[in-house]
Structure 1
Amino acid sequence: MKRLVVVGTGPRLYREFMLRRIGERYDVHLVIGRPAEWETPYVRGVSVVPGMTADGIVAAVRDVVARGAADGAADGAADGAADSAADGAIDGAIKSAIDGAIDGAVDGVMTWAEDHVVGTALAAAAVGLPGPGPDAARACRDKHLTRSLLAAHGVPQPQSELVADVAEARAVAEKFGYPVVVKPRAGVASQAVALVRDGEELADHFASAHRLPAAGLRSPDRSVMIEEYLTGPEIAVDSVVRDGLVLPVFVSHKEMGYAPYFEETGHWTRGDDPLLGDPAITRFLAQVHTAIGYATGATHAELKLTDEGPKLIEINGRLGGDLLSYLCDSASGVDPGLALAAVSCGDAPDLTRTRALCAGIRFAYPPWHETRVEEIAFDESALPPEAGLAVPLVRPGEVVLLPHKDLMEGRVAFATAAAATRAELSAALDRALAALRCTWSPT
């Protein structure tokens, strides 16, 4: 069994199924910022890194690799000496809680957590394991750096400029022509991203984008981007990359709402999506990854399919969120988490498709801008047979806000389903959310 270091986990609801699958096939050591909780059954060892800084992650991974190499070389006979050597290399701020003995060399290190993409890439490079490369990881985190690298390689994308204040933003918007997109340079989950149609809206949304922390950026004073708005369908392609070879795993299609914000109200995917084999898209993805120098790992690339061909909206150096990997498995039988684990250990991933279904997720939102939840639950008897998960995301007594310029966390529940066709899937998701029983009031 190969030994794999997993950095970070994320919310249990969205990531447990992947860690469980990986734990069945790999000897997993977890690097995390707190003592393990729900993760414990799926891992053999845990290193706790308070704050989960990049330096702390690198030191923890070095320690795990040193212990594994020493124990493997000594064949278990020199545990005490190996522990002493490794302990001298680890930073004093790191508390290592090794739940099981490391009995051989580490084969790979990976993450699916956005906040730890750079730290994990640095750690992989430091110990000589496969990874995206630190510069590529930084390019995925810094949207302006992504744009700069793509422009240098002639990769199609929207016009984009980095601005420092509202005056610069207005000048760029007038040059591009309204509407334009206001986007934080290092934001996640579409927070503070908005479509604006005139200078007054631009000033309002610029302030929201500028307020977001710009941690990790080399020039955080210039933290807002103004971009050309592209028309056409938007898709996301999750891929695994092995030694620079891009292997698309699945395509997800977005359902959007709450304009002028880009709130993702749902997603769906097909196990046999023809876009997976579209030569224009596969060539484009290869161009994008070459431009940023991405070597090994997983990416989530968001594309607009314009009349001029695909153009990159953004690329993230990890698998997509919102249970997209779960939907891929439901629709095709391919587990993206296992595919990432394989390439992280230098192996070819198993992308064999055993199903050709449509699978999707849809989120529920409150009826008022500010809503107090009194009761919330799904009526299981009303769920359609195609339904999979049906989960409330809030508890009675909580106050929930609809998406607005400073908040993108208005979801109160979600349901998933799988069906033979897109139409059947949409109908099943409609019925599943109709089974949500809520008592709430405006505040």
Structure 2
Amino acid sequence: MSELASESSTLSEGDDRPRLLLIGTGGQQYREYLLGSIGRHYRVHLLSTAEPTWERQHVTGWTVVDMRDTLAATELTAAARELGDDEPLAGVLAWDEARVLQAAKVAEALWLPGGDPDTAMRCRDKHLTRAALEKAGVPQPRSVLVSDVDEALATAESIGYPVVLKPRAMAASLGVVRVDSPAELKERFAFARDITIPGAWRYDQVLVEECVTGEEISVDSAVHVGEVHPMFVARKQIGYAPYFEEVGHVVDGADPLLADESITQLLHDAHLALGFTDGMTHTELMMTADGPKVIEVNARLGGDLIPYLGLRATGIDPGLAAAAVACGESPNVTPTRRLAGAVRFFYPDHDDTEIGAVDLDVDSLPTRPDRFVVLAEPGEVMSPPPKGTLFGRVAFATAVADGPRQCLDTLAAVRSALTIRAPAAAGGGR
């Protein structure tokens, strides 16, 4: 445990807020709003791979831990036990996909809510998800696990083109691609099989799935003692076909899908099939002509600022809901307003674009965005998908308004006013 963490433990004497263990934080621009909210109501101790920077103002202590052991979580568990010896922990929380299983392992060791690694694995491993849902008869696309191109070709022929290739254990649509023919399947199989990110593990197998069509949505829910509490619906915007890059999301606090009984029942059935009783989930559904079907269930809060949009649109605080269920408390998911929020991510136009600056002509905008954040650093070389899948984002903007149309108009204007500049020539000006 770090020196400051020990000191902070002393400083917190007399503070009766619940003590929450947080495993990882994610990027500041994407997750600080969650930690800031939780830190006002809980004493947060952070387990991190490095000394915290921006997180310090929101936590009461931290421990630097080696997190490379993604399956056993041995060092994380040891650090958590040591902390629990000083003062009991009320809960364990993680919202990073790579930390979900580790958090469940730690919670299990401490006998805390969410301590079910088997359930976490059923969500983390998409093949296990499909098997559990199929056994319970939950509507979903047909899915077959294959080990090589020949098996994939035979499976695609059986299902019927088009099909979708999907990695077994990824997130954020990474490695997901549509194929319309045997030739395309041969060309794109490696893309789905080989994609990886830091902290993730990969399988050599790939899922070949029926390509279901319709509007794709996601539902973020707080789950407490088996009861699923949907908080908000996000309507997903996909780009760069045949890849499924998530280029934006729209959350409407008055979305009628929140009251759709078919969705409510499907969420209940999916969580029951997976054995998910305590924690946060981000469930992706396809609204097909035959009714909603489950695309996947993630055992965490949604990414891509969806929870932020939900907070701004509904007033429901997703960070506090996540902390509550992690500590075995009933979450407050009562909306206090009905606005709309949207996010859009921006990419370079061409592969291998060297970034000099990302500029926004704010004065030309009819309505200013809620947030505009530059993600690219000068000198970085970035590409749009598929080469720059997810990591090709140079900036994002969010908008909040009375309705979705106003949000989308604001974000379209931001795109028109956005310029990605090349580095200035050596020895010269701009």
Q: After TM superposition, is the score higher than 0.5? A: yes
Q: Which residue does the alignment assign to 1:58?
A: 77
Mind listing any 5+ residue stretches in structure 2 that lack a counterpart? Answer: 1-16, 424-430
What is the deviation of 1:372?
2.1
Q: 1:376 to 1:212 in 2, by over 3 A?
A: closer
Amino acid at match of 2:155: V
Q: Which residue does the alignment assign to 1:102?
A: none
Q: Which residue does the alignment assign to 2:270?
A: 288
* Aligned counterpart for 2:50 among listed residues 28, 34, 58: 34
Deviations 1:301-323 (A, max 9, x none): 10001122111111111111111
Q: Which residue does the alignment assign to 2:135?
A: 152
Q: 1:64 to 1:384 in 2, by over 3 A?
A: farther
Indicate the percent of aligned positions where both proteins have the same amino acid: 46
What is the deviation of 1:171?
0.2
What is the deviation of 1:329?
1.0
* Aligned counterpart for 1:5 among listed residues 16, 21, 27: 21
Worse-matched range after superposition: 32-41 or 206-215: 206-215
Amino acid at match of 1:25: H
Structure-1 separation of matches of 2:126 and 2:252: 28
The number of residues matched between the two structures is: 403
CA contact (8 A) 2:98 2:200 kept: no
The answer to whether structure 1 residue 177 and structure 2 residue 196 are counterparts is no
Partner-residue secondary structure (3-state), 1:225: strand
Q: Which residue does the alignment assign to 1:199?
A: 182
Q: Which residue does the alignment assign to 1:365?
A: 347
CA contact (8 A) 2:245 2:389 kept: no
Q: Which residue does the alignment assign to 1:123?
A: 106
What is the deviation of 1:216?
7.9
Worse-matched range after superposition: 206-215 or 21-30: 206-215
Structure-1 separation of matches of 2:348 and 2:100: 33
Amino acid at match of 2:371: L
Q: 1:283 to 1:386 in 2, by over 3 A?
A: farther
**CA RMSD after TM alignment:** 1.8
CA contact (8 A) 1:191 1:405 kept: no
What is the deviation of 1:346?
1.2
CA contact (8 A) 1:377 1:436 kept: yes
Q: Which residue does the alignment assign to 1:436?
A: 418
What is the deviation of 1:174?
0.4
What is the deviation of 1:352?
2.2
Amino acid at match of 1:320: G
Q: Which residue does the alignment assign to 1:263?
A: 245
* Aligned counterpart for 2:220 among listed residues 232, 238, 247: 238
CA contact (8 A) 1:182 1:195 kept: yes
Amino acid at match of 1:233: E
What is the deviation of 1:424?
1.2
What is the deviation of 1:207?
1.3
Partner-residue secondary structure (3-state), 2:355: strand
Structure-2 separation of matches of 1:416 and 1:321: 14
Amino acid at match of 2:59: V
Map 1:326-365 to 2 at 5 A. 326-365=308-347
Structure-2 separation of matches of 1:389 and 1:347: 32
CA contact (8 A) 2:170 2:200 kept: no
What is the deviation of 1:120?
0.4
What is the deviation of 1:25?
0.6
Q: 1:406 to 1:67 in 2, by over 3 A?
A: same
* Aligned counterpart for 2:257 among listed residues 272, 275, 286: 275
What is the deviation of 1:406?
7.4
Deviations 1:215-250 (A, max 9, x none): 887x934x2110000011110001010011110011
Structure-2 separation of matches of 1:405 and 1:372: 14
Q: Which residue does the alignment assign to 2:357?
A: 375
The answer to whether structure 1 residue 164 and structure 2 residue 147 are counterparts is yes
Q: Which residue does the alignment assign to 2:382?
A: 400
Q: TM-score, normalised by structure 1?
A: 0.87
What is the deviation of 1:252?
0.4
CA contact (8 A) 1:132 1:295 kept: no
Q: 1:386 to 1:332 in 2, by over 3 A?
A: farther
Partner-residue secondary structure (3-state), 1:425: helix
What is the deviation of 1:377?
2.1
Structure-1 separation of matches of 2:148 and 2:388: 18
Deviations 1:249-305 (A, max 9, x none): 110011111000001111010112111121110110011111110111101110001
CA contact (8 A) 1:402 1:410 kept: yes
What is the deviation of 1:435?
2.7
Structure-2 separation of matches of 1:268 and 1:407: 20
What is the deviation of 1:410?
1.8
* Aligned counterpart for 1:307 among listed residues 267, 286, 289: 289
Q: TM-score, normalised by structure 2?
A: 0.90
Partner-residue secondary structure (3-state), 1:322: coil
Structure-2 separation of matches of 1:220 and 1:433: 37
Amino acid at match of 1:415: A
Deviations 1:59-78 (A, max 9, x none): 2222211221xxxxxxxxxx
The answer to whether structure 1 residue 417 and structure 2 residue 417 are counterparts is no
What is the deviation of 1:173?
0.2
What is the deviation of 1:212?
3.2
CA contact (8 A) 2:105 2:115 kept: no
Mind listing any 5+ residue stretches in structure 1 that lack a counterpart? Answer: 69-104
What is the deviation of 1:132?
5.6
* Aligned counterpart for 1:190 among listed residues 173, 197, 203: 173
Q: Which residue does the alignment assign to 2:301?
A: 319
What is the deviation of 1:134?
0.8
* Aligned counterpart for 1:133 among listed residues 93, 113, 116: 116
Q: 1:299 to 1:132 in 2, by over 3 A?
A: farther
CA contact (8 A) 2:340 2:400 kept: yes
Partner-residue secondary structure (3-state), 2:370: strand
Amino acid at match of 1:60: A
Structure-2 separation of matches of 1:216 and 1:410: 19
What is the deviation of 1:385?
3.7
